[in-house]
């Protein structure tokens, strides 16, 4: 295993990061099987695990904590905060109040005394970034957190966070976790160059575009019965994505690799990517992903992929991507009717 630098933290991580979103009630409720999956990944040489408090309402963190007993010191452990953890409006977000409370909950579930990488899962537009960075800085000084990062932040908010940290003498985000795949290449436009400029490691999620790049979802064929279809039916039936998949399949066949392995190798070929997050739900999923770990793509294959999905563009819909309030709320992008009429 060739380990990579996690930004400029000095921490070394494996090119594959084991994502734990599918461990627990939302994906695989069998704790023993999930633990076996984690152990197989660690035995393969993966030393990087990423989870979040909100994954199955904390159950994922509990599974990871049980799996790491006796092996914690050799693992770079990452988790995230900001999603709702209850009906109380203060049990979510990135306020100092919630961060200071929830970090202890995560530490307890993970059965550890320190989190290697503590990430803000999504931006919180109602909270000053200095409030968040100040709380995270105090956690680092208290020894509860070793490094901090962001996840699915717009480029503008990454830059604002970096400047705020410098102005106020606060800890700064050392990593960003954006979506990236052959079908989701928008981060090549400015996200990846920005992260490189600030020395941030990049941990990309959904390198298989929610499974669209496994070959299970085909144009003109019935959608399989899957968790993705149940939770994200629009994305899994997106016409542009399915059309791109049909063009990518023969490229993989001519290269002598599966579509899944080509998709993973594509992500890992970008010099700005530190680790790609694998999200297996079953042992079979993990075995298939690990089988392609040594696949490398030549320039001819990468050039053909560029022709199908041009660099810096997204081929289709990503329902899990961050959408700011200005997009979600029509009243933030429309003047009152009376004002429009007067104009």
**pLDDT for residue 171:** 98
- pLDDT mean over 282-297: 96
SS3 per-residue string spanning 127-155: CCHHHHHHHHHHHHHCCCEEEEEEECCCH
Angle formed by the axes of helices 239-255 and 259-269, nearest 10°: 90
Q: Which of 55, 118, 180, 217 is catalytic?
A: 55
**pLDDT for residue 180:** 97
pLDDT band of 319, cuts 50, 70, 90: confident
- pLDDT mean over 53-67: 98
Sorted by sequence, the CB contacts under 8 Å of residue 223 that are 6+ apart come out as 217, 229, 233, 236, 237
231 is catalytic: no
- Judged by DSSP in three states, 4 sits in strand
Domain containing 93: what range? 4-342
**pLDDT for residue 198:** 97
pLDDT band of 233, cuts 50, 70, 90: confident
**pLDDT for residue 159:** 98
**pLDDT for residue 338:** 64
**pLDDT for residue 236:** 75
Q: Would you say residue 131 has pLDDT above 60?
A: yes
**pLDDT for residue 330:** 84
**pLDDT for residue 220:** 79
Sign of the CA dihedral running 21, 22, 23, 24: positive
Q: What percent of the chain has pLDDT over 90?
A: 82
Q: Would you say residue 149 has pLDDT above 90?
A: yes
Q: For residues 84 and 91, give the distance between their C-alpha atoms in angstroms, rounded to a whole number.
A: 6
CA 286 to chain centre: 17
Sorted by sequence, the CB contacts under 8 Å of residue 272 that are 6+ apart come out as 192, 193, 195, 196, 202
**pLDDT for residue 216:** 86
> For residue 160, what is the domain's CATH number?
3.20.20.100
pLDDT tens-digit series, residues 11-59: 999 999 999 999 999 999 999 999 999 999 999 999 999 999 999 999 9
Residue predicted with more confidence, 96 or 321: 96
**pLDDT for residue 340:** 57
pLDDT tens-digit series, residues 80-130: 999 999 999 999 999 999 999 999 999 999 999 999 999 999 999 999 999
Sorted by sequence, the CB contacts under 8 Å of residue 75 that are 6+ apart come out as 42, 47, 48, 49, 68, 116
Mean pLDDT of the chain: 94
**pLDDT for residue 217:** 77
- pLDDT mean over 204-227: 85
What is the number of structural domains in the chain? Answer: 1
């Amino acid at each position: 295993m060739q380990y990579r630098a996690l930004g400029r933290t000095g921490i070394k991580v494996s090119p594959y990061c084991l994502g734990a979103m599918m461990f627990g009630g939302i994906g695989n409720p069998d704790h023993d099987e999930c633990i076996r999956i984690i152990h197989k990944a660690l035995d393969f040489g993966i030393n990087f695990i990423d989870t979040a408090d909100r994954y199955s309402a904390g159950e994922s963190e509990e599974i990871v904590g049980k799996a790491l007993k006796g092996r914690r010191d050799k693992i770079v452990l990452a988790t995230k905060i900001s999603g709702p953890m209850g009906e109380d409006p203060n049990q979510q977000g990135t306020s100092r109040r919630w961060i200071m409370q929830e970090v202890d909950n995560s530490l307890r579930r993970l059965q550890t005394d320190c989190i290697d990488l503590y990430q803000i899962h999504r931006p919180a537009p109602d909270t000053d970034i200095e409030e968040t960075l100040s709380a995270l800085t105090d956690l680092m000084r208290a020894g509860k957190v070793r490094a901090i990062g962001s996840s699915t932040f717009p480029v503008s908010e990454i830059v604002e966070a970096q400047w705020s940290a410098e102005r106020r003498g606060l800890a700064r985000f050392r990593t960003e976790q954006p979506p990236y795949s052959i079908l989701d290449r928008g981060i090549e436009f400015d996200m990846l160059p920005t992260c490189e400029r600030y020395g941030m490691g990049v941990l990309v999620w959904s390198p298989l575009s929610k499974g669209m790049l496994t070959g299970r979802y085909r144009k003109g064929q019935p959608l399989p019965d899957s968790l993705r279809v149940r939770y994200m039916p629009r994305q899994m039936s997106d016409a542009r994505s399915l059309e791109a998949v049909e063009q990518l399949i023969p490229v993989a066949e001519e290269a002598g690799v599966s579509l899944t392995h080509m998709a993973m190798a594509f992500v890992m070929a970008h010099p700005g990517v530190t680790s790609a997050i694998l999200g297996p739900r079953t042992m079979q999923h993990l075995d298939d992903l690990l089988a392609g770990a040594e696949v490398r793509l030549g320039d001819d294959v990468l050039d053909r992929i560029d022709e199908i999905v041009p660099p810096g563009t997204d081929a289709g819909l990503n329902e899990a991507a961050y959408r700011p309030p200005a997009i979600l709320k029509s009243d933030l992008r429309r003047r009152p009717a009376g004002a429009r009429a007067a104009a």
